[in-house]
């Protein structure tokens, strides 16, 4: 195709995609049927993981739960079964350990079948400034929040590719789009998770595997206990998010093959402004919105227990 025709094609398709996007503001996208799918959720013993298990279960799926918290998984499994799951299976798995991920993944394939919807949800936060964070905690943050995604993809993506069918869900963070004072290791891990999911999604499209969808979720702080103590300066613009609301939005994004889900909606504007404003103005806006002080009162789930 010569340059003129290729340019014309890009212009016409760009116009159509914008019209299509505008139409979907008023007419919701058709939702796909996920009944009968096998859904694996990491970090499913509590919080968003547990709520997502219930949401997926309500659509007649088989739910597979991974966590390091046995008792938490038992309760999540009970609630998922109660919500309508066809079958519920749960496995102890430390997602920071590559060998354990591969071992438990093989067990899932033997006992349950090929996973067709993978939700990488497990995550941790140190809540310390970079210089105060022990090396071991920094390494663990990267292992759980980033590297675990590599190993779960390696384990379950081949079957999806063979069938050209599946869905990869990455629960990242708004801290994977914009740096936050006091969250250097966490931001690094979430930036990496976003970049990894985007890149693999492009690889799949480039190889013709367009039946495998990708959803990247970037929420602001969620009220699950993980960021207990953190306060938002402007709750109307950047509210601490309700976990049930987030779980329902994630499911809706999966059902409509939405690639990016930022919560709250103001994050779309803030993330966009970051890339176009002069650096000094961006810093001024960040300070105004509280990015410099949001971690000042951090307690976190573990510290609370201690």
- Note whether residue 231 is domain-resident: yes
User: Strand 62-67 to strand 166-171: parallel, antiparallel, or no bridges (unpaired)?
Assistant: unpaired
> pLDDT tens across 20-38, in order?
777 877 787 889 999 999 9
Count the Cβ atoms, other than its own, within 10 Å of residue 23.
10
- Note whether residue 136 is domain-resident: yes
Supply the pLDDT for residue 305.
38
- Note whether residue 265 is domain-resident: yes
Q: In the 8-state DSSP scheme, what is residue 36? A: T
Supply the pLDDT for residue 88.
97
Report the CATH number at residue 90: 3.40.50.720
- Note whether residue 69 is domain-resident: yes
- What residues in the chain have per-residue pLDDT under 50? 303-306
Expressed as residue numbers, the domain containing 125 is 33-305
- Note whether residue 137 is domain-resident: yes
> pLDDT tens across 37-84, in order?
999 999 999 999 999 999 999 999 999 999 999 999 999 999 999 999
Q: In the 8-state DSSP scheme, what is residue 222? A: B
Supply the pLDDT for residue 1.
62
Supply the pLDDT for residue 302.
55
- Note whether residue 222 is domain-resident: yes
Count the Cβ atoms, other than its own, within 10 Å of residue 47.
22
Structural domain count, the chain: 1
Catalytic residue among 90, 91, 153, 186: 186
- Note whether residue 185 is domain-resident: yes
90 counts as catalytic? no
Count the Cβ atoms, other than its own, within 10 Å of residue 7.
11
Count the Cβ atoms, other than its own, within 10 Å of residue 188.
19
- Note whether residue 4 is domain-resident: no
């Amino acid at each position: 195709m010569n340059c003129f025709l290729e340019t014309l094609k890009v212009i016409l398709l760009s116009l159509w995609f914008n019209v299509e996007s505008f139409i979907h503001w008023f007419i919701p996208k058709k939702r796909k049927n996920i009944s009968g799918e096998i859904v694996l959720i990491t970090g499913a013993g509590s919080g968003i993981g547990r709520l997502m298990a219930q949401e997926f279960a309500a659509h007649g799926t088989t739910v597979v739960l991974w966590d390091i918290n046995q008792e938490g998984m038992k309760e999540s499994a009970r609630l998922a079964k109660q919500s309508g799951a066809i079958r519920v299976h749960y496995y102890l798995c430390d997602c920071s350990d590559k060998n354990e991920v591969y071992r438990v993944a093989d067990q899932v394939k033997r006992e349950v079948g090929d996973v067709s919807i993978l939700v990488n949800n497990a995550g941790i936060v140190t809540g310390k400034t970079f210089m105060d964070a022990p090396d071991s905690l920094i390494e663990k943050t990267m292992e759980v929040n980033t590297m675990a995604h590599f190993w779960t993809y390696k384990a379950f993506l081949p079957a999806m590719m063979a069938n050209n069918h599946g869905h990869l869900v990455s629960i990242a963070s708004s801290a994977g789009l914009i740096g936050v004072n006091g969250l250097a290791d966490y931001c690094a891990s979430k930036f990496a998770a976003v970049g990894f999911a985007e890149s693999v999604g492009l690889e799949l499209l480039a190889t013709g595997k367009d039946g495998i969808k990708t959803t990247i979720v970037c929420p602001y702080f969620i009220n699950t206990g993980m960021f207990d103590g953190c306060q938002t300066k402007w709750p109307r613009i950047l509210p601490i998010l309700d976990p049930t609301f987030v779980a329902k939005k994630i499911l809706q994004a999966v059902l409509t093959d939405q690639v990016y889900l930022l919560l709250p909606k103001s994050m779309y504007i803030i993330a966009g402004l970051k890339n176009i404003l002069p650096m000094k103005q961006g810093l001024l806006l960040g300070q105004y919105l509280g990015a410099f002080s949001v971690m000042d009162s951090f307690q976190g789930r573990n510290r609370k227990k201690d």
